[in-house]
C-alpha cells in the first residue's frame, strides 16, 4: 500500500516503563561541525568520532552520530542534578573540540545554520535513518536542524501523561527562551524558531497527543504499529514524549542551545518544572491542562515572536507576555531548585531575556555586519567557546 511500511497486528502491546525511583536527569546536546575558514557545515562527523575515540582511550566517550554527518551528539549518563550533567557534557565537548580542531573544524550549536544548503549535506546510513528518509522524502532531507533533549526520571507510568499534559502549559516558555533559528538557507525567516515549525512537518513529529492515561497510550502505539506508521517507539518524534526504556519524560522542545550557561539554565528549568508537577501530583493535586488548540497556538506564537510572544495561560483563555509570566514561574520554582541543587542555574534563566536570546543576538550580529551571515556563524562559534 502506498505510504505504508510493514505493519504489525494484534492486541494493544504492553509497554513496560522502567520507572525511576528518583528524578534523574539526562541531556542530549546536538552540535554542528563547521569549517574554520568558510564557516559552512562540513560532513566530517566520522573523522571527528574517530578522533574522539582515540583521545578517550579506554574510556567510552558519550558522543554519538546523528542523522546528518555534519553533526555529533553529546549524551550524558544518568545524572542526579544539573551540575553533574553539565560536567559530563563539558568533558564530552572538550573531547570533540580536541578531535575537531586539528581537522580545521569548529563547533556551533543553534536551531539552524544561517546559510548552509540542505542539498549538500550527507546522511548517516542506518536502517532507521534510511527508513525515515524513504518515507518522508523531501521534508526528511530538509531537516537541517539541531536541538536539545532533556530526560527526567518518573516513578510510575501512571504519572507520565498527567505531567506531560500539564507541562505543555510551559511549552512556549521553553521554546521562546531557547529559540535560535531565525535564519535558514540565507534568509531571515521572520521567526524566532524556524526549527520548531520545520520539524513538525514530519508525520510523527510535533505536539504530543494528550492521553488521559498509560493504557490509552498503549492503544495508540498498537494502532501506529498495526498501520505501519512506526516500527518502534523511537520512531515517534513528539516534542515531549515518554521514553519507557529509560523511565523518563523526554522534553525535545528546545532549539539547539548556543552557550553552556544557557544550556544549564534551560536544563534546570526543565528539571524543576517536571519535579514540581510530580510533587504536586503526589500531593493529590489535579494538574492543570489546556485544550490542544491553545497548546498549538502557543507553540506558533513562541516560534514566531520568541520572547515577545503573548501566550495563552490556561483553559480560560487568559493571556500574558511570556517574559512576565516567566518571572512568576521562576519565583514559584525556586524552592524546588534549592532542593535539586540548581538554584543558581535556575536563576540564570532570567539572564536570557536580559542579555538577549540566541535568535536576538544572531539578528543583531547580522545587522551590525551588514547582513554578513559568516559573522553570525562566527558569533555562534564564539558563544560555544565562551
Tens-digit pLDDT profile for residues 54-79: 998 867 679 988 778 899 999 999 99
What number is the average pLDDT over the span 131-138?
73
Measured distance CA(44)–CA(34) in Å, rounded: 9
- The region of weakest confidence among 18-27, 197-206, 244-253 is 197-206
Closest listed residue to residue 347, CA positions, set 268, 263, 253? 268
* Cβ–Cβ < 8 Å for 140, 133: yes
Q: How confident is the model at residue 263 (pLDDT cuts 50, 70, 90)?
A: very high
Residue 3 has pLDDT above 70, yes or no: no
pLDDT at residue 6 in the model: 41
pLDDT at residue 39 in the model: 98
Tens-digit pLDDT profile for residues 216-246: 999 999 999 999 888 888 889 999 999 999 9
Measured distance CA(263)–CA(279) in Å, rounded: 24
Strands 319-321 and 71-75: unpaired
* % the chain with pLDDT above 90: 82
Residue 141 has pLDDT above 80, yes or no: no
pLDDT at residue 5 in the model: 39
pLDDT at residue 139 in the model: 73
Q: What does residue 95 show for φ and ψ, rounded to 5 degrees? A: -60, -45
pLDDT at residue 321 in the model: 98
368-375 contact pairs (CB < 8 A, 24+): 373/114, 373/115, 373/183, 373/186, 374/38, 374/39, 374/115
CA distances from 258 to 60, 112, 247, 269, 352 (A): 25, 11, 28, 16, 11
Residue 10 has pLDDT above 80, yes or no: no
Closest listed residue to residue 340, CA positions, set 287, 269, 243, 242? 269
Q: How confident is the model at residue 383 (pLDDT cuts 50, 70, 90)?
A: very high
Q: How confident is the model at residue 22 (pLDDT cuts 50, 70, 90)?
A: very high
Task: Tell which wins on pLDDT, 81 or 133.
Answer: 81
Tens-digit pLDDT profile for residues 172-186: 999 999 999 999 999
Query: Residue 68 is placed in which grid cell?
Result: 546528518
Residue 135 has pLDDT above 80, yes or no: no
pLDDT at residue 195 in the model: 97
Q: What does residue 340 show for φ and ψ, rounded to 5 degrees? A: -85, -5
Domains of the chain, first to last: 25-381 (3.30.590.20)
pLDDT at residue 122 in the model: 72
Tens-digit pLDDT profile for residues 283-318: 999 999 999 999 999 999 999 999 999 999 999 999
* Cβ–Cβ < 8 Å for 40, 116: yes
Q: What does residue 309 show for φ and ψ, rounded to 5 degrees? A: -75, 135
Average confidence score pLDDT of the chain: 93
pLDDT at residue 128 in the model: 66
Q: Around 55, how many Cα atoms within 13 Å sit in the side-chain half-sphere?
A: 21
Residue 2 has pLDDT above 70, yes or no: no
Query: Residue 112 is placed in which grid cell?
Result: 539552524
Q: How confident is the model at residue 11 (pLDDT cuts 50, 70, 90)?
A: low
Q: How confident is the model at residue 134 (pLDDT cuts 50, 70, 90)?
A: confident
* % the chain with pLDDT above 70: 94
Amino acid at each position: 500500500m502506498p505510504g505504508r511500511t510493514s505493519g504489525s497486528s494484534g492486541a494493544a502491546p504492553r509497554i513496560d516503563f522502567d520507572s525511576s525511583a528518583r528524578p534523574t536527569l539526562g541531556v542530549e546536546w546536538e552540535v554542528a561541525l563547521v569549517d574554520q575558514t568558510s564557516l559552512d557545515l562540513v560532513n566530517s562527523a566520522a573523522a571527528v568520532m574517530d578522533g574522539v575515540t582515540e583521545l578517550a582511550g579506554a574510556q567510552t566517550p558519550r558522543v554519538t552520530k546523528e542523522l546528518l554527518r555534519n553533526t555529533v551528539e553529546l549524551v550524558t549518563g544518568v545524572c542526579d542534578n544539573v551540575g553533574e550533567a553539565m560536567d559530563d557534557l563539558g568533558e564530552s565537548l572538550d573531547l570533540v573540540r580536541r578531535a575537531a580542531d586539528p581537522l580545521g573544524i569548529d563547533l556551533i550549536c543553534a536551531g539552524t545554520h544561517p546559510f548552509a544548503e540542505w542539498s549538500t549535506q550527507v546522511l548517516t546510513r542506518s536502517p532507521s535513518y534510511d527508513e525515515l528518509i524513504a518515507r518522508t522524502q523531501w521534508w526528511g532531507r530538509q531537516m537541517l536542524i539541531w536541538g536539545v533533549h532533556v530526560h527526567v526520571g518518573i516513578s510510575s507510568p501512571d504519572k507520565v501523561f498527567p505531567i506531560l499534559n500539564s507541562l505543555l502549559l510551559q511549552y512556549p516558555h521553553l521554546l521562546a527562551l531557547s529559540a535560535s533559528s531565525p535564519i535558514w538557507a540565507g534568509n531571515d525567516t521572520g521567526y524566532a524558531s524556524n526549527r520548531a515549525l520545520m520539524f513538525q512537518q514530519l508525520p510523527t513529529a510535533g505536539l504530543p497527543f494528550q492521553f488521559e492515561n498509560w493504557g490509552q497510550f498503549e492503544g495508540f502505539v498498537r494502532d501506529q504499529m498495526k498501520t505501519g506508521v512506526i516500527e518502534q517507539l523511537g520512531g515517534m518524534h513528539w516534542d515531549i514524549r515518554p521514553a519507557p526504556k529509560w523511565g523518563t519524560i523526554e522534553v525535545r522542545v528546545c532549539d539547539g542551545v548556543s552557550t553552556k550557561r544557557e544550556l544549564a539554565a534551560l536544563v534546570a528549568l526543565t528539571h524543576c518544572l517536571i519535579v514540581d508537577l510530580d510533587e504536586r501530583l503526589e500531593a493529590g493535586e489535579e494538574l492543570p491542562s489546556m485544550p490542544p488548540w491553545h497548546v498549538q497556538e502557543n507553540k506558533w506564537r513562541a516560534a514566531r515572536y520568541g520572547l515577545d510572544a503573548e501566550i495563552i495561560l490556561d483553559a480560560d483563555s487568559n493571556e500574558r507576555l511570556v517574559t512576565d509570566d516567566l518571572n512568576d514561574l521562576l519565583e514559584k520554582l525556586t524552592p524546588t531548585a534549592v532542593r535539586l541543587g540548581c538554584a543558581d542555574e535556575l536563576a540564570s534563566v532570567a539572564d536570557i531575556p536580559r542579555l538577549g536570546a540566541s535568535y536576538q543576538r544572531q539578528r543583531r550580529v547580522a545587522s551590525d555586519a551588514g547582513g554578513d551571515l559568516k559573522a553570525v556563524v562566527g558569533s555562534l562559534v564564539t558563544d560555544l567557546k565562551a
